[in-house]
Amino acid sequence: MRISTQTFFQRNTSTILDRQARTSQLNVHLTEGKRVLHAADDPVAAASIQRLKQSVSVNTQYLKNIEVADAANAQEESTLAQMVNLLQRTRELLVSAGDGIYSVENFETVAKELEQLKEQLIGLGNTRDGNSEYIFSGYDVDSKPFQINQFGTVEYFGDKGVRQLQVGSGVDAAINDSGFDVFMNLPSGNGSFKSTLGSGNTGSGVVEQGVVFDPSTASSFTGEEYSIHFTDPGAGLPTQYSVYSIEAATVTGAATVKLTGVDLNNAAIATVDPASVFPNAGSAVNVGYIVAPTLGEFYVTINGVSSLPVTYDSNVATAQEISINGMKVEIEGIPVVSDIYQINKYTAPTQYLENQAIEVNGVSTQIKGQPLDLDHFTLSPSINTDIFSTIQSAIDALRLPGATDTQEAERLTRINMAQLELDNAMGIVVSTRSKVGARMQTLSNQSEIGQDFKLVSQSAMSNLEDLDMAQAISDLKMEQTALEVAQQTFVQLQRLNLFDLIR
């Protein structure tokens, strides 16, 4: 077959260029160490590699989030550990102060140390992380969470948010706890009741905490505020106590009513005192209001007996005590005429014995010391308070003036309640610290899962895209040899010309 010069050159040039391209391609793959550089190299493998790269990228972000979350939780855990130490020291001081061996000077020394502990606790509550963000502010990380207002009360300026980071597929991890939950959501008293002394007490009686010993019974009387009233019947008879409660029956206004006195020696007490004890008929009387001529003033009624001419003035911001025939109620706020409170009588006059349990509606308490006529003690349903108010209450109790039996009883009762609230606070902080520890363990486990996934994914990608170096070098050598053969052949063949044979 006859081959033209043009065809000869085209075929050889094409062969050489093809060999050069294949050699160059092998060289690039060898340099990169990858078998699949483009989708055309292996379409199926390329798609799998792309999916794996996306998974690895997401997993890498999870691992970064784990590092951030772990650092945040580690800082919170350290801060909570310091809080536990401060609260433990605070409780030790209150236990010592309640032993009855301290002098007034000792009380002042303890009060000063408690003030320092309170300041330290506020400082811990305002802890910042490495980004200068407050760790107990919830979502509002730029707001200083705990600040003292003009009245000396600590207020919370953060929110209740709990920030979270995604650390795995469907797995979120909290990186903070709200300062409201840790510091400001503390149940008062022992969590069921808070015990207080009447402001007009003259005896040495000290009330213990109210304990629920029969939950099924106590739950039927939820919300009732119990008060224990003492009477000296005279004629050499022993002191007696009676137990009452007051509860909201129909209330739409904004006033609160407390039972603060029961004088069973008052000649007219029968007109306002329940005629029997629960559950008998006549075991309750109502407290209501009648509008007085002056705007904002009301006459108060107990069992239909009016306080006329004495009125309750809702224009006055402070609580006011109204007495009707030996029954006293303390009112604060703005009522409406339709408001009705109910006074219930649960225990008829009973001889008082020191340290004897006083039980009513599944609730038990004790009175220590010697209460006197008209003394009373209150078991109020627990409400929310904060750790700073608890410490301040203890400080104020230590600084109560005087050392009479009555003043000592007031001081001891308030210190005892502060101890109970400190125990509640300690429980919350320890529980929060445990949650942080559990989160850190979860993060550790998730980190191991992420690292394992990273290793498996990288191994799978390596199998799909990495080059078999020995095979690639062999192929490159073969292509280089083929290229050299093509070049030499072209050189030799182009010399097959008749003019080269002419001498």
Q: What pLDDT digit, counting tens, does each position of 369-415 carry?
A: 999 999 999 999 999 999 999 999 999 999 988 888 898 899 999 99
Q: Which CATH number fits domain 34-191+385-395+419-466: 3.40.50.150, 3.40.50.300, 1.20.1330.10, 3.30.1490.20?
A: 1.20.1330.10
Per-residue model confidence as pLDDT tens digits over 54-71: 777 888 898 999 999 999
The pLDDT value recorded for residue 58 is 83
How do residues 153-164 score in pLDDT, each as one tens digit?
A: 999 999 999 999
Instruction: Report whether pLDDT(483) > 60.
Output: no
pLDDT number for residue 99 = 78
Whether 39 shows a pLDDT value over 60: the answer reads no
Could you report how far apart the first and last alpha carbons of the chain are, in Å? 27
Selected residue with higher pLDDT from 85 and 463: 85
- Smallest CA-to-CA distance from 190 within 216, 208, 213 is with 208
Average pLDDT over residues 92-118: 88
Cis peptide bond N-terminal to 279, omega within 30:
yes
The DSSP element (H or E) to which 471 belongs, if any, is: helix 469-493
Q: Give the span between the Cα atoms of 309 and 290, in whole angstroms.
A: 12
Quick: pLDDT tens for 153-206: 999 999 999 999 999 888 899 999 999 999 999 998 888 999 999 989 999 999
Burial 191-206 (b: 16+ CB within 10 A, else e): bbbbbbbbeebebbbb
Has residue 31 got a pLDDT over 80? no
If residue 226 lies in a helix (H) or strand (E), which one and from where to where?
A: strand 225-231
Confidence of residue 101 (pLDDT cuts 50, 70, 90): confident
Q: Give residue limits of the domains in the chain.
A: 34-191+385-395+419-466, 225-365
pLDDT at 49 over 70: no
- Cβ atoms within 10 Å of 369's Cβ, excluding its own: 19
Q: What is the pLDDT of residue 420?
A: 93
Say if residues 179 and 136 touch (Cβ distance below 8 Å).
yes
pLDDT at 503 over 60: no
Residue 272 CA to residue 260 CA, distance in Å, equals: 14
Q: What are the DSSP E strand ranges found in 56-210?
A: 146-148, 154-156, 164-168, 171-174, 186-187, 193-197, 206-207
Q: What is the pLDDT confidence band of residue 263, given thresholds at 50, 70 and 90?
A: very high
The alpha-helical segments, DSSP class H, found in 99-206 are 104-125, 179
Distance CA 224, CA 249 (A): 11
Q: What is the mean pLDDT of the chain?
A: 86
Contact 243, 228 (CB under 8 A): yes
Report the pLDDT value the prediction gives residue 494, as an integer from 0 to 100.
57
Quote the pLDDT of residue 363: 96
pLDDT of 481 over the 80 cut = no
Q: Where are the beta strands (DSSP E) in 327-471?
A: 327-334, 340-351, 357-360, 363-368, 376-381, 384-385
User: Is residue 490 pLDDT above 60, yes or no?
Assistant: no
What's the pLDDT band for 232 if we cut at 50, 70, 90? very high
Check whether 50 has a pLDDT greater than 80. Answer: no
Which of 96-105, 242-251, 297-306, 447-456 is the least confident region?
A: 96-105
Q: Which residues are bridge partners to 259 per DSSP?
A: 329
273-295 exposure pattern, b = at least 16 Cβ within 10 A, e = fewer: bbeebbeeeeebbebbbeebeee
Q: Per-residue pLDDT tens for 265-292?
A: 999 999 999 999 999 999 999 999 999 9
| pLDDT beyond 60 at 28 | no
pLDDT at 244: 98
Q: How confident is the model at residue 487 (pLDDT cuts 50, 70, 90)?
A: low
